[in-house]
């Protein structure tokens, strides 16, 4: 298991520095349906925010807002002090593991390379010097996640765990100021879950890169989480795990009896999954 060094001190120290992500008075509504309103969230360097909630509560929509792919109905969002634009180098994005077609024309290093400059126009660096610099950056990103051994392997032949390590490298190779993760541990075995979470954690500790981690299952990252943003059907709550993940708070959010139990080092939420949720959002 990973060692836990989560100090409340870190959060207060960081608050004095500038926030990397600011969400102010944010409202997101699709017609009548309000995903959230009056959402304020300041994310400081080194912070790990878990975004939890049932399907359709707007977790993915929030990521899309941070990525600049969707506009808020009201309020503002800033990443590094600027509104997030399309094609931003400032954000690293890790998606959930997906099944890949066998004839996908990518090797492991190509996936990481796309994370570095795949969004740019033109044919890329053509001179030998520039090509060497590019190659070195990609090699370094792969070494960081322990993927050097299969750098030239076809991506589709790799296991889900190996693919997700590469996803971390793909997100980190551009030196982003914030890391957005959309269920990156889903459908991975326990050992791979632990490895991928650890790789994200290492970057947070060494470079102070804050992490926004969307998940439906908090336990694999429980020791890492500084604050939880819990979204349920237009309601939300933000705070440290011990303040949000309680029987009282979740029962209030869900509007029904929900029990939160601590079993050894795990949190077990009973009752939340039976709540019939709303019509799905446009993206979930």
Partner 1 sequence: MNDIFDRLVSFDGTGELLTLPFVQRALIAAAVLGLVAGLLAPLVVARGMAFAVHGTSELAFTGGAAALVLGIEVGLGAVLGSVLAALVFGLLGLRQRERDSVIGVVLAFGLGLGVLLLALYDGRASNKFGLLTGSIVSVDSTNLWVLAACATVVVGTLVVWYRPLLFASTDPGVAAARGVPVRLLSPLFAVLIGLTTALAVPAVGAVLVLAVMITPGAAAARVSASPLAGTVIAVVVAEVALLGGTVLSLGPGLPISGYVAAIVFLCYLVCRLIGRVRAG
Which positions touch partner 1 (CB under 8 A)?
67-69, 85-88, 91, 93, 95, 98, 101, 103-107, 110-111, 114-115, 117-124, 153-156, 167, 170, 180
Dihedral of the CA atoms 144, 150, 156, 157 (nearest 10)? -140
- CB-wise, 110 or 226, nearer to partner 1? 110
* Closest by CA position to 47, among listed 18, 75, 24, 68: 18
231 secondary structure, DSSP code: E
Distance of closest approach, residue 110 Cβ to partner 1, in angstroms: 6
- CB-wise, 123 or 190, nearer to partner 1? 123
Q: Is the dihedral of CA 47, 225, 58, 183 positive or negative?
A: positive
Distance of closest approach, residue 40 Cβ to partner 1, in angstroms: 24
- CB-wise, 31 or 122, nearer to partner 1? 122
Ramachandran category for residue 56: left, alpha or beta (phi over 0 → left; psi -120 to 50 → alpha)? left
- CB-wise, 67 or 140, nearer to partner 1? 67
Distance of closest approach, residue 67 Cβ to partner 1, in angstroms: 5
Distance of closest approach, residue 216 Cβ to partner 1, in angstroms: 18
Dihedral of the CA atoms 36, 41, 43, 48 (nearest 10)? -50
């Amino acid at each position: 298991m990973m060692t836990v060094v989560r100090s409340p001190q870190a959060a207060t120290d960081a608050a004095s520095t500038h926030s990397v992500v600011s969400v102010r008075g944010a409202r997101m509504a699709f017609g009548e349906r309000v995903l959230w309103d009056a959402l304020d969230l300041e994310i400081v360097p080194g912070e790990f925010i878990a975004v939890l909630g049932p399907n359709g509560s707007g977790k993915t929509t929030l990521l899309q807002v941070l990525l600049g792919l969707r506009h808020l109905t009201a309020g503002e969002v800033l990443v590094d002090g600027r509104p997030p634009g399309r094609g931003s180098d400032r954000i690293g994005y890790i998606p959930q593991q997906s099944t890949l077609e066998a004839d996908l024309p990518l090797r492991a290093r190509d996936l990481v390379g796309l994370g570095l400059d795949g969004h740019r126009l033109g044919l890329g660096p053509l001179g030998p010097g520039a090509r060497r610099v590019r190659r070195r950056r990609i090699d370094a990103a792969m070494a960081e996640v322990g993927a050097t051994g299969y750098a030239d392997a076809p991506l589709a032949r790799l296991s889900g765990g190996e693919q997700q390590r590469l996803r971390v490298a793909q997100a980190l190779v551009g030196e982003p100021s914030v890391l957005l993760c959309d269920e990156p541990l889903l459908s991975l075995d326990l050992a791979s879950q632990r490895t991928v979470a650890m790789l994200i954690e290492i970057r947070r500790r060494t470079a102070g890169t804050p992490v926004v981690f969307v998940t439906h299952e908090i336990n694999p990252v429980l020791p890492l989480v500084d604050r939880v943003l819990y979204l349920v059907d237009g309601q939300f709550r933000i705070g440290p795990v011990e303040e949000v993940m309680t029987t009282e708070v979740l029962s209030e959010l869900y509007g029904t009896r929900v029990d939160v139990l601590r079993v050894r080092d795990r949190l077990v939420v009973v009752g939340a999954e039976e709540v019939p949720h709303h019509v799905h959002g446009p993206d979930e």
